[in-house]
């Protein structure tokens, strides 16, 4: 059986010495490319790599026109390329910063001649968004967003929410059950007379005590909880405390830049126990209900969107379909004054130059490099390497090395200049593309992005992550049609159509339309599933006393 390479595989960049299998390819298949004929000697799963040329041991392997590792042994054309014959090797990396020239005119960002040259204008660029054959060889952005608005909740501090929740926040894990009982009292039936309220949610976690005083753990936890209480998607909040925990939140109002309706902290030990605190909590929420219901959805500009960009359960298609698709939508949001938050520092490792070489301010580039070096130091102290990523699920989906995974992950950020770099859960104040330092573990990372002000989440997945989070709606974008069709109850959008007949222009517009609809109140698949409290996980680096 003989087939053309382009029928069964995708070439992401002409410089690549591997291609990506569109579908599972059986052993014994002959592939033709130009005048060459290759024999497929091993079965190659869909989304995995196959060699296009002879690769000697130690030779670089290229994907997206970038080095993703080195052949660990000799590889023949048509061979399956994966963990058995591809390794990270000794990749020499030098950090550098390049400032992106400012926009040429108007309020739209347009790449300067220098930027266009780096993107490879006039020739195939080393980005997945420039490939998928001729139908996808189009400029990076032709998405229409002119005149678009969404229906959001304008808050007293000027920020805009996509939801209107009342949050019941535990300061320590000992108060979790109490907070849950308070929130669960307010069923949809009980909230029927308050149509502008999206729900009463409990925000609980597994920490709050026994961490060293003034540690990063306490700093990140307090910052996360206080910023969520004042989040634009939260119209009112109460805190529930045990009383003796290390995470003391005595005067939450002092942390807020502007007034937010909330009650005083309810302390279980002072009120006489769980039952008494539940009664007090119910009364406090009932006082908030009419105040929070006064907020109404009104037309808001796209510039008020703050989208957290995330990927989890990635596969070989993540950097080919869903991530570059999200990158286009990210560009559209940024070009209208909005904000997008890239995160997961360990998962940009090896691809950080795609960000540091397009900064708006040198400080942003230097801060990002500093955070990467911090992670390298922490990895050395803990006895592991950042190269150990990807996860087993990522590898099963076709990703072999951290560089391969990172190059695909960074495409979620689009192509606009990096404006600023933030610590975990820090309040986002700059518009445009920003970066937040977080771990690669999705629940911890999204928790920080949302605490920083993200009012919705764009989450790509190839293997089928079911993460949804709390407070901010999470739009799940499947990288391939098989995952989308198998998990239709959990996936909101199918980027797998890009492997079929759809083009990036049409698909980008459809995803942007879904973003506007979701920001305006349409429930995501994750929001339709109750009990998401366990997916709120603040980052807790350091030891426990």
432-436 vs 418-422, strand pairing mode? parallel
Strand partners, 234: 165
**Closest listed residue to residue 407, CA positions, set 427, 384, 389, 383:** 389
Quote the pLDDT of residue 131: 39
**Closest listed residue to residue 448, CA positions, set 227, 283, 233, 296:** 227
Quote the pLDDT of residue 495: 96
Q: Which residues have a Cβ under 8 Å from the Cβ of 281 and sit 6 or more positions away?
A: 168, 178, 179, 181, 182, 238, 240, 266
36-39 vs 60-63, strand pairing mode? unpaired
Query: Sheet containing 30-33: which strands, arranged edge to edge?
Result: 2-4, 30-33, 36-39
Please report, to the nearest 10 degrees, the dihedral formed by the alpha carbons of residues 437, 439, 445, 451 taken in order. Answer: -40
* Chain centre to alpha carbon of residue 214: 29
DSSP 422-451: E-TTPPP-S-EEEEE---S-HHHHHHHHHH
Quote the pLDDT of residue 353: 92
pLDDT tens digit at each of 545 positions of the chain: 678 888 888 888 899 999 999 889 999 998 888 878 888 999 999 999 999 999 999 999 999 888 889 999 999 999 999 999 999 877 666 788 999 876 543 344 433 333 333 333 333 333 333 334 333 333 344 455 556 899 999 998 899 999 999 999 999 999 999 999 999 999 999 999 999 999 999 999 999 999 888 899 999 999 999 999 999 999 999 999 999 999 987 655 554 444 455 657 899 999 999 999 999 999 999 999 999 999 999 999 999 999 999 999 888 899 999 999 999 999 999 999 999 999 999 999 889 999 999 999 999 999 999 999 999 898 888 888 776 667 788 888 888 888 888 899 999 999 999 999 999 999 999 999 999 999 999 999 999 999 999 999 999 999 999 999 999 999 999 999 999 999 999 999 999 999 887 788 999 999 999 999 999 999 999 998 877 888 999 999 977 77
Quote the pLDDT of residue 133: 35
Quote the pLDDT of residue 96: 87
For residue 77, the SS3 value is coil
Tokens of 318: 């993540």
12-44 burial: b if 16+ Cβ within 10 Å, else e: bbeebbbbbbbeebeeebebebeeeebebeeeb
């Amino acid at each position: 059986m003989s087939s053309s390479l382009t029928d069964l595989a995708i070439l992401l960049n002409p410089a690549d010495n591997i291609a990506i299998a569109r579908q599972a390819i059986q052993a014994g298949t002959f592939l033709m490319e130009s005048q060459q004929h290759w024999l497929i000697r091993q079965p190659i799963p869909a989304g995995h790599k196959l060699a296009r040329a002879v690769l000697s041991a130690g030779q670089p392997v290229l994907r997206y026109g970038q080095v993703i590792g080195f052949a660990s042994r000799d590889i023949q054309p048509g061979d399956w390329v994966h963990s058995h014959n591809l390794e990270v090797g000794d990749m020499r990396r030098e950090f550098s910063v390049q400032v992106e020239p400012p926009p040429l005119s108007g309020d739209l960002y347009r790449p300067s001649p220098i930027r266009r040259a780096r993107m490879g204008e006039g020739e195939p660029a080393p980005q997945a968004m420039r490939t998928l054959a001729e139908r996808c060889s189009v400029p990076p952005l032709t998405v229409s967003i002119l005149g678009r608005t969404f229906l959001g909740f304008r808050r007293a501090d000027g920020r805009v929410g996509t939801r209107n929740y009342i949050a019941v926040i535990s300061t320590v894990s000992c108060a979790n059950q109490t907070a849950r009982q308070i929130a669960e009292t307010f069923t949809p039936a009980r909230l029927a007379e308050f149509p502008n309220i999206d729900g009463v949610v409990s925000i609980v976690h597994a920490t709050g005590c026994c961490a060293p005083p003034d540690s990063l753990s306490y700093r990140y936890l307090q910052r996360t909880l206080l910023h969520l209480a004042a989040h634009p998607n939260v119209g009112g909040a109460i805190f529930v405390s045990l009383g003796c925990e290390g995470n003391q939140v005595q005067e939450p109002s002092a942390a807020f830049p502007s007034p937010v309706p909330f009650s005083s902290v309810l302390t279980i030990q002072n009120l006489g126990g769980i039952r008494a605190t539940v009664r007090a909590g119910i009364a406090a929420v009932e006082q908030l209900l009419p105040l929070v219901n006064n907020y109404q959805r009104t037309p808001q500009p796209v510039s008020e969107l703050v989208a957290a960009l995330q990927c989890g359960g990635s596969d070989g298609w993540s950097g080919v379909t869903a991530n570059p698709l999200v990158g286009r939508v990210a560009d559209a949001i940024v070009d209208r004054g909005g904000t997008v938050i890239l995160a997961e520092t360990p998962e940009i490792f090896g691809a950080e130059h795609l960000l540091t070489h397009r900064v708006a301010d040198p400080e942003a580039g230097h801060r990002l490099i500093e955070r990467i070096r911090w992670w390298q130091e922490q990895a050395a102290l803990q006895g592991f390497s950042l190269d150990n990523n990807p996860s087993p699920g990522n590898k099963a989906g076709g990703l072999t090395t951290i560089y391969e995974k990172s190059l695909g992950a960074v495409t979620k950020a689009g192509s606009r200049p990096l404006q600023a770099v933030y610590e975990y859960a820090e309040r986002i104040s700059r518009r445009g593309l920003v970066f937040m330092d977080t771990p690669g573990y999705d629940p911890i990372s999204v928790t920080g992005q949302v605490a920083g002000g993200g009012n919705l989440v764009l989450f790509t997945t190839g293997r089928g992550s079911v993460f949804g989070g709390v407070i901010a709606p999470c739009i799940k974008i499947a990288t391939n049609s098989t995952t989308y069709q198998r998990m239709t109850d959990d996936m909101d959008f199918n980027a797998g159509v890009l492997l079929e007949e759809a083009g990036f222009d049409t698909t980008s517009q459809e995803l942007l339309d879904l973003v506007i609809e979701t920001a305006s109140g349409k429930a995501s698949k994750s929001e339709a599933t109750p009990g998401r409290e366990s997916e709120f996980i603040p980052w807790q680096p350091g030891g426990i006393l």
